[in-house]
């Protein structure tokens, strides 16, 4: 499938915020360019399209694509039926009617997605009441379905074999209304594109955010007007209580409205849901709820990945849901057990619909192999982590919770060793040390060359001095021998290190003492005495330079 989440490498700074917020451990691939720049791209085959990375990225490196541009380019080529997700009322509390009016003027059939959610609730009740399935996880959220099928494939059996609310709408339009228009869903969800493509029931997924961007780009003004009774005049079949499914716990309330004995719980939030799915997989069936209603986005679909979250606060979303619920309660003729919803009208679906028409199967993905300790050993060694303590630093700077998670990603070929901060710090220290050693070595090489040159000069000068007695001759021989040692040492140690310098200093100091003693026995008349004295002073200066470098 074509990538949904897109990356602009030129804007990626390698901060790892996308990895840190992502519940899918294999959804991101870290790469290094030839110039050393590190950036993170998306592994489309492992991405669940939750959209968290887009919100987390503060550098504008991530965005998503939906079908808005393609659909708008073909809008006049065919007839369409529009399925409107009920979350439109929370995403655009003052404009949703104006948006639908814009589509209605183009002669599109407008279908209330809340009725599809009614069908979904009805189907879920049928599945639970039949006792043909065990504990189920609602599959109304495409991102949750993606996560389960990719990372917990054993739980696919816990997904009820029915269509999501949006797909229930599509089946109803095609099979019961007998409409043959192409289907478009106005959606708050990036991931919904997956179920559209996988089932082929819906042709275009247009998210609320991209739709408004299209309107703004093309100077289309949507008025904030009040259209009395708009929903009942415009919707082909208005929903009943299905609109509540778009908020956290909405499905639970819908189910309990008709069966208070159902053990139904809910959760929302991408990372929270991922953690609870992992816990769910390790829990005995007898301790699990009959229905676990999960929505990937915090605050539900009204704050979905395909909405402009900057345009509203979470409090405004919650207030919009409360207003929607109050509206549902006011329109219900015969209250259900929770005092909202027309139970009599809802039960008519038993006579109108066939559950078999809304069946859907799910296919688990092949899980990636989990590396063994032996598999990760060479990776840890390359990272400079030889001890258990080093392998459990778990600083999180790489984006992963643990060092082992990063090592696993490197093993799978989707990350690089350079992502480890400790590794990079160690390399920086080593590089700095190497640079210092190289600089000091260069100094010592220069000193070695100068000392060798001066030693040769002294040796030549001494050979020209007339011997002034046996004592002087003996000293001369001693000095000559020491000078030969200096020259030999310098020739042998062309690259000087700290130990070499210390040895050189020792030799030079011994030489100096001999030279000083020798100088006392040389006649002042000798024309070469000054030469020797000057050379001695220069060597003395060189020794001081060597000692300074040692310090």
> Using one digit for the tens of pLDDT, what is the confidence trace for 532-549?
566 666 666 666 665 555
Between CA 498 and CA 520 the distance in angstroms is: 33
Q: Rounded to whole angstroms, how far apart are CA atoms 462 and 510?
A: 17
The pLDDT, as a whole number, for residue 477 is 62
**Of the segments 405-409, 463-467, 476-480, which one has the largest average pLDDT value?**
405-409
Last residue of a domain, one of 338, 358, 378: 358
Pair 226, 330 in one domain: yes
Select from 293, 202, 201 the least CA-distant residue to 244: 293
442 assigned to some structural domain: yes
For 496-541, what is the HEC assignment?
Answer: CCHHHHHHHHHHHHHHHHHHHHHHHCCCCCCCCHHHHHHHHHHHHH
pLDDT at 144: 96
| Residue where one domain finishes, among candidates 330, 358, 386 | 358
**Confidence class of residue 78 from pLDDT cuts 50, 70 and 90?**
confident
Residues 58, 70 within the same domain: no
Note whether residue 402 is domain-resident.
no
Inside any domain, residue 109: yes
Which residues, at least 6 apart from 549, have a Cβ–Cβ distance to it below 8 Å? 440, 443, 444, 447, 501
Q: Compute the Cα dihedral for 486, 487, 488, 489 and give only its sign.
A: positive
pLDDT tens per residue across span 275-322: 999 999 999 999 999 999 999 999 999 899 999 988 888 898 889 888
Question: To the nearest whole percent, how much of the chain has pLDDT over 90?
Answer: 48
Q: Which residue, chain included where needed, has tokens 């079949």?
A: 237
Structural domain contains residue 342: yes
Are residue 162 and residue 49 in the same domain, yes or no?
no
CATH of residue 49: 3.30.70.3270
Residue 304 is predicted with a pLDDT of: 93
Same domain flag for 186 and 101: yes
pLDDT at 413: 92
Across residues 248-272, what is the average pLDDT? 91
Give 468's pLDDT tier (boundaries 50, 70, 90).
Answer: very low
3-class secondary structure, 17:
helix
Beta bridge partners of 204: 184
502 or 429, greater pLDDT: 502
Its pTM stands at 0.76
Flag whether 534 is in a domain.
Answer: yes
Residue 445 has a pLDDT of 65
* 413 vs 31: CA distance, rounded Å: 10
From 6-15, 38-47, 308-317, 422-431, the region with the lowest mean pLDDT: 422-431
Same domain assignment for residues 150 and 20: no
pLDDT of residue 439: 61
* Cβ atoms within 10 Å, residue 523: 11
pLDDT number for residue 230: 64
Q: Is residue 448 part of a domain?
A: yes
Range of the domain at 58: 1-65
**Average pLDDT score over residue span 502-516:** 63
* Residue with more model confidence, 198 or 517: 198
85, 26 Cβ separation under 8 angstroms: no
Which band of pLDDT confidence, cut at 50, 70 and 90, is reported for residue 191? very high
Q: In terms of domains, do 354 and 466 share one? A: no
Structure tokens at 188: 């708050």
Confidence of residue 524 (pLDDT cuts 50, 70, 90): very low
Highest-pLDDT range among 379-393, 438-452, 472-486:
379-393
Task: Looking at the structure, tell me whether residues 539 and 497 fall in a common domain.
Answer: yes
Can you say how many angstroms the Cα of residue 117 is from the centroid of all Cα atoms in its chain? Answer: 33
Which of the four pLDDT bands, split at 50, 70 and 90, describes residue 491? low
Cα torsion angle, 120, 125, 126, 128, sign: positive
Q: Are residues 55 and 81 in the same domain?
A: no
Do 135 and 4 share a structural domain?
A: no
Q: Quick check: helix, strand or coil at residue 334?
A: coil
Mean pLDDT, all residues of the chain = 82
Asked if residue 363 belongs to a domain, the reply is: no
Virtual torsion, Cα 118, 122, 128, 133, nearest 10 deg: -90
472 shares a domain with 351:
no
Q: What is the largest CA-CA distance in the chain?
A: 134
Q: How many other CB atoms are there within 10 angstroms of residue 261's CB atom?
A: 8
Both 17 and 111 in one domain: the answer is no
101 and 220 co-located in one domain: yes
Q: Kindly report the three-state secondary structure assignment for every residue of 1-49.
A: CCCCEEECHHHCCCCCHHHHHCCCCCCEEEEECCCCCEEEEECCCCCCC
Domain tally for the chain?
A: 3
Q: Is the model's pLDDT at 374 over the cut of 90?
A: yes
For residue 181, is it within any domain?
A: yes
Tens of pLDDT, residue by residue over 25-43, are 999 999 988 888 899 999 9
* pLDDT at 23 > cutoff 70: yes
Residue 523 sits in a domain of what CATH number? 1.20.120
Per-residue pLDDT, 469: 47
Which one of 38, 65, 92 terminates a domain?
65
Strands (E), 35-138: 38-42, 62-64, 80-84, 109-112, 136-137
């Amino acid at each position: 499938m074509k990538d949904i989440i897109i990356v602009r490498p030129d804007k990626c700074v390698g901060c790892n915020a996308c990895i840190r917020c992502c519940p899918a451990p294999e959804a991101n691939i870290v790469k290094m360019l030839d110039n050393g720049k590190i950036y993170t791209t998306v592994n489309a085959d492992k991405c669940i399209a939750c959209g968290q990375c887009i919100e987390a990225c503060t550098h504008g490196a991530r965005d998503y694509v939906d079908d808005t541009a393609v659909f708008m380019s073909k809008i006049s080529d065919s007839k369409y039926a529009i399925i409107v997700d009920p979350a439109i009322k929370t995403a655009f509390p003052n404009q949703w009617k104006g948006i639908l009016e814009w589509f209605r003027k183009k002669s599109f059939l407008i279908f209330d997605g809340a009725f599809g959610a009614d069908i979904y609730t009805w189907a879920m009740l049928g599945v639970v009441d039949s006792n043909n399935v065990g504990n189920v996880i609602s599959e109304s959220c495409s991102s949750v379905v993606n996560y389960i099928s990719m990372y917990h494939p054993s739980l696919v059996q816990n997904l009820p074999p029915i269509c999501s609310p949006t797909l229930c709408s599509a089946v109803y339009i095609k099979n019961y209304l007998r409409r043959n228009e192409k289907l478009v869903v106005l959606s708050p969800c990036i991931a919904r594109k997956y179920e559209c493509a996988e089932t082929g029931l819906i042709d275009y997924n247009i998210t609320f955010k991209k739709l408004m961007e299209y309107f703004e780009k093309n100077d289309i003004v949507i008025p904030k007007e009040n259209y009395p009774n708009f929903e009942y005049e415009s919707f082909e079949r208005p929903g009943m209580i299905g609109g509540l499914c778009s908020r956290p716990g909405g499905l639970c309330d819908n189910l309990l409205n008709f069966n208070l004995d159902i053990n139904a719980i809910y959760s929302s939030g991408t990372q929270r849901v991922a953690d609870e799915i992992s816990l769910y997989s390790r829990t005995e069936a007898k301790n699990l709820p009959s229905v676990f209603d999960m929505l990937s986005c915090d605050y539900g679909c009204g704050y979905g990945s395909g909405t402009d979250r900057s345009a509203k606060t979470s409090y405004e979303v919650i207030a919009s849901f409360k207003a929607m619920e109050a509206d549902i309660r006011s329109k219900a003729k015969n209250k259900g057990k929770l005092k909202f919803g027309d139970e009599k009208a809802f039960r008519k679906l038993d006579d109108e619909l066939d559950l078999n028409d809304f069946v859907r199967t799910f296919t688990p993905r092949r899980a990636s192999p989990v590396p063994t300790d032996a598999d990760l050993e060479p990776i840890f060694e390359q990272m400079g982590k030889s001890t258990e303590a080093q392998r459990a630093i778990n600083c999180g700077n790489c984006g992963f919770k643990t060092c082992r998670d990063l090592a696993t990603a490197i093993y799978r070929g989707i990350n690089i060793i350079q992502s480890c901060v400790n590794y990079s710090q160690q390399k920086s220290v080593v590089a700095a040390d190497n640079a210092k050693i190289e600089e000091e070595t260069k100094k010592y090489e220069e000193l070695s060359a100068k000392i060798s040159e001066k030693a040769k000069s002294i040796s030549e000068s001494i050979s020209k001095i007339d011997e002034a007695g046996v004592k002087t001759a003996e000293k001369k021989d001693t000095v000559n021998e020491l000078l030969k040692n200096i020259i030999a040492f310098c020739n042998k140690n062309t690259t000087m290190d700290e130990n070499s310098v210390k040895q050189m200093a020792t030799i030079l100091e011994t030489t100096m003492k001999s030279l000083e003693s020798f100088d006392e026995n040389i006649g002042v008349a000798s024309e070469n005495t000054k030469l020797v004295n000057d050379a001695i002073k220069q060597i003395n200066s060189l020794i001081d330079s060597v000692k300074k470098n040692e310090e």
